[in-house]
C-alpha cells in the first residue's frame, strides 16, 4: 500500500489508527491523504492564489499541501476543492470572528451555502433533504471546512472547541440554494455578485429549526408561524444579535410570492412580528441582558438588531416545511466567489 503524505512508514492499512492516535478528524473514517491524492487536489487549484492567513486558535498558516490533505481526508473530489477554498477564505474574514466561533460554548458550526452554476457541476443538493444525508458534495464540502478548522486551526473538542453539547452540524452543514424553484432574486445576487457567478456564503450557526405549516393557505398564515418559531427566548440572536437565516421551502416561498411578498418586505415584517415578550424572559436573564446593554423594545425583545440581519433564501423540495437557522450571534454572514 502507498505511504501517507509526510508520514513515512504509515500505509493506508495503518492510516485510521494513526489518525486516531494523533487526534485528527471528526470520528468518522478519513480518506488517507496519499501524495497522489493530494497532488490531484492541488491540480484543481492550478492558477489560483492559495495564500491563506493564520487560523485561530493555533495561529498556523495552512500550506497548500495541508489544506489539500484535509480536503482529501474529508472525501473531496478535486472539483470540490475550489468550493472549500472559497468557504475557508470567507470564514477568515475578520467579521466572521473565527476565534470566537471556534472557542464558544455555543453549538455553532460553519454553515456553507452554495449558489450559482457550481451547484449543478458538483451535483450539490439544493432540493429534497438538502440539509441531510445522501449527497457527496454536500457532505464532503462541509466536512472539509470543519476538518481545516480542527486539524490546522486546532479547534479540537474539549480543548479549544468548548461547545457545551455541540451538534450534528459540526460534522458537516452544507447545502445549495434552490434557485430554480425560487420566486425571488438569487441570494448570491442580493449579496452583490454577478448573475451566473458561483458563490459560497458562510456563517456560524446552529442546525436548522423546522417551520411546519401545513394548514396555512396565505402569506399571513405562514408569517405568523415563522415569526413564532423565530421568537425564542433561548436563542443567541436575542441578546448577542447577529445574522440569522430563513430558508424557505419552495411551497412556502411560492405562497409568499403569490401574495405579493418580496424579500425586503419579509425581512421587515418578521423583524416587527417576531418579538419575545419580556414576560417570557426570567428576571435574572433580563438583568443579565441589561448588563450587556440589551434592553427590550417596549414590552418585548427583538430578534437581532434589524431586518437586514435576516438572510432569506430558498432550498429544499416538496412539502410545506421551511427552516429558521439562528446563529452564534457574534459573527457575520460572509460570501466569497468560487475561484474558477
pLDDT digits (tens, 9 = 90+) for 201-232: 999 999 999 999 999 999 999 999 999 999 99
Question: How many residues does the structure list for the chain?
Answer: 340
Q: What is the pLDDT of residue 3?
A: 63
pLDDT digits (tens, 9 = 90+) for 246-303: 999 999 999 999 999 999 999 999 999 999 999 999 999 999 999 999 999 999 999 9
The pTM of this model reads: 0.95
Average confidence score pLDDT of the chain: 95
Q: What is the pLDDT of residue 297?
A: 95
Q: What is the pLDDT of residue 49?
A: 87
Determine contact, residues 163/106, Cβ cutoff 8 Å.
yes
Lowest pLDDT segment from 47-56, 175-184, 268-277, 292-301? 47-56
pLDDT at residue 1 is higher than 50? no
pLDDT digits (tens, 9 = 90+) for 143-170: 999 999 999 999 888 888 899 999 999 9
CA–CA gap between residue 214 and residue 46 (Å, rounded): 49
CA 8 to the chain's CA centroid: 36
Helix ranges, 199-241 (H): 219-230, 236-239
pLDDT at residue 57 is higher than 50? yes
| DSSP H or E segment with residue 257 | helix 250-258
pLDDT digits (tens, 9 = 90+) for 291-335: 999 999 999 999 999 999 999 999 999 999 999 999 999 999 999
pLDDT digits (tens, 9 = 90+) for 72-88: 999 999 999 999 999 99
CA–CA gap between residue 301 and residue 95 (Å, rounded): 24
pLDDT digits (tens, 9 = 90+) for 82-109: 999 999 999 999 999 999 999 999 999 9
Cell of 128: 429534497
Determine contact, residues 206/169, Cβ cutoff 8 Å.
yes
User: Measuring CA to CA, which residue among 120, 225, 228, 227 is closest to residue 177?
Assistant: 120
User: Is the CA virtual torsion 103, 107, 113, 118 positive or negative?
Assistant: positive
CA–CA gap between residue 291 and residue 286 (Å, rounded): 9
pLDDT at residue 180 is higher than 60? yes
**Strands (E) located in the chain:** 3-4, 7-11, 109-115, 174-176, 199-205, 209-212, 244-248, 275-277, 300-302, 310-314, 321-325, 334-337
**3-class SS at 167?**
coil
Amino acid at each position: 500500500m502507498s505511504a501517507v503524505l509526510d508520514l513515512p512508514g504509515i500505509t493506508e492499512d495503518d492510516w485510521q489508527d494513526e489518525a486516531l492516535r494523533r487526534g485528527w478528524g471528526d470520528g468518522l473514517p478519513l480518506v488517507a491523504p496519499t501524495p497522489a491524492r493530494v497532488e490531484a487536489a492541488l491540480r484543481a487549484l492550478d492558477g489560483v492564489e492559495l495564500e491563506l492567513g493564520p487560523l485561530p486558535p493555533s495561529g498556523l498558516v495552512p500550506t497548500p499541501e495541508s489544506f489539500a490533505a484535509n480536503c482529501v481526508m474529508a472525501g473531496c473530489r478535486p472539483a470540490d476543492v475550489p468550493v472549500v477554498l472559497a468557504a475557508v477564505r470567507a470564514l477568515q474574514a475578520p467579521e466572521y470572528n473565527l476565534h470566537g466561533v471556534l472557542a464558544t460554548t455555543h453549538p455553532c458550526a460553519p454553515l456553507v451555502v452554495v449558489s450559482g452554476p457550481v451547484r449543478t457541476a458538483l451535483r450539490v443538493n439544493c432540493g429534497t433533504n438538502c440539509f441531510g444525508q445522501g449527497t457527496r458534495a454536500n457532505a464532503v464540502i462541509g466536512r472539509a471546512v470543519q476538518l481545516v478548522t480542527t486539524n490546522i486551526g486546532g479547534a479540537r473538542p474539549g480543548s479549544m472547541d468548548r461547545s457545551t453539547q455541540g451538534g450534528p452540524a459540526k460534522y458537516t452543514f452544507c447545502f445549495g440554494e434552490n434557485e430554480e424553484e425560487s420566486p425571488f432574486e438569487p441570494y448570491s445576487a442580493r449579496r452583490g455578485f454577478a448573475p451566473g457567478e458561483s458563490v459560497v456564503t458562510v456563517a456560524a450557526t446552529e442546525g436548522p429549526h423546522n417551520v411546519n405549516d401545513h394548514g396555512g393557505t396565505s402569506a399571513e398564515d405562514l408569517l405568523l408561524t415563522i415569526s413564532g418559531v423565530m421568537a425564542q427566548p433561548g436563542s443567541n440572536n436575542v441578546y448577542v444579535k447577529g445574522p440569522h437565516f430563513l430558508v424557505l421551502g419552495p411551497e412556502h416561498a411560492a405562497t409568499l410570492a403569490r401574495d405579493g411578498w418580496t424579500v425586503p418586505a419579509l425581512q421587515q415584517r418578521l423583524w416587527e412580528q417576531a418579538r419575545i415578550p419580556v414576560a417570557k424572559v426570567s428576571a435574572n436573564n433580563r438583568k443579565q441582558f441589561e448588563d450587556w446593554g440589551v434592553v427590550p423594545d417596549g414590552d418585548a425583545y427583538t430578534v437581532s438588531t434589524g431586518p437586514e440581519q435576516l438572510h432569506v433564501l430558498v432550498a429544499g423540495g416538496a412539502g410545506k416545511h421551511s427552516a429558521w437557522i439562528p446563529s452564534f450571534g457574534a459573527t457575520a454572514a460572509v460570501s466569497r466567489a468560487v475561484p474558477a
